[in-house]
Amino acid sequence: MKTDILIAGSGCAGLYCALQLPRKLQVTIVTKLDARSSDSYLAQGGMCMLKDDGDYDSYFEDTLKAGHYENDRESVDIMIRSSPAVVQDLLACGVDFARDGQGKLAFTKEGAHSGKRIIYHEDITGKEITDRLLARVLELANVRLLEYTTLMDIREEDGRCQGAVVRTPEGAMESVEAKAVVLATGGVGGLYRHSTNFRHLTGDALAIAVRHNLGLRDMGYVQIHPTTLYTPGSEERSFLISESVRGEGALLYDKNGERFVDELLPRDLLTAAIYDRMEKDGTDHVWEDLRPIDRKELVTHFPNIVEHCRKKGYDVTRECIPVVPAQHYFMGGIRVDHDGRTSLERLYAVGETACNGVHGRNRLASNSLLESLVFAKRAALHMCG
């Protein structure tokens, strides 16, 4: 098989990268399952953006503070300043972000943010963005999408990436010749017992990176999301109760129905507080109360959370729900520069697979979609520059 650009992964990073490439290039996207089984589809809360220059300093500081000041500051600057252009691209793709009464973009707030700067679509922002990107990609004559096709290895010759080896849906191994390869295979949640991630996301690109002695970064930085619905004995993916729920006023209680923490702490600190309370109380979960949120806001902003909880036997308009932390996001990954370049020529990495240092030790809520899109676009422009 021959192609100009091979992209492994069909999440928002891989799709957006493909959309930024010149139409004269033949682009092939391979994805391990179906095209919609990526963690990008699971992002609930929203995506950050720089509303105006007056918010730059606080947005920058919020990102660094959440990351314990271990962030790459240039990466953070690039991400923040690039956000308005990315949002315009998404709007041009038909993404339907929520609007206020004047028809302007509506903003919400999440933990560790000093103000409202998160745009959203109900509580399925990732699905809305990724579905629109996928639709645009499928319209392109120069892109072919191969589902149920697994990246097994990359081809390295003369110090450069020359392509890859993939496993076809029939189980056959096939060599792919490419001028450049983009790794966008997602995170590592499938390796954990309790995770919000799809089970098939098992850090495949990281294993390939180790095999080829590529640079890695911050491999121990794994984010635990503080609030997932507690479902004992279930082997299903943990269902996320969005950060935005707490941003809009939801509260956390211990076994006695008492608040025990500031619900808007950064995720790692809030997770630690929840684990500490569970240990002191001798419980397997704490309780989250969504009733402080205006009922109309609750059912319009978070319809899927409300419905999922209903299916599990909880009426969030009348009662608290049990929640517990679970693995959520990988801040580390394959070391890349600000253009998504790895330590191997012609090999790029974007999205959760990559690490440019933007998140530091702990990712600020709703920076994941933005970071993936910003640096996927930069990678596309660089490989064709």
Q: Of the candidates 228, 166, 227, 186, which has an alpha carbon nearest to the alpha carbon of residue 28?
A: 166
Q: Which of 127, 143, 154 is nearest to 46 (CA)?
A: 127
Contacts of residue 19, defined as CB under 8 A and 6 or more positions apart, other chains included, come to 93, 133, 136, 137, 140
- Is 111 in contact with 243 (CB distance < 8 Å)? yes
Give just the sign of the alpha carbon dihedral 190, 195, 198, 201: negative
Are 349 and 26 spatial neighbours (Cβ–Cβ below 8 Å)?
no
How far is Cα 269 from Cα 377, in angstroms, rounded to an integer? 32
Is 267 among the residues known to form the active site?
Answer: yes
Q: Which of 117, 132, 136, 267 is catalytic?
A: 267
What stretch of H or E contains 27?
A: strand 27-30
Residue among 248, 176, 188 nearest 2 (CA): 176
Residues serving a catalytic function are: 267
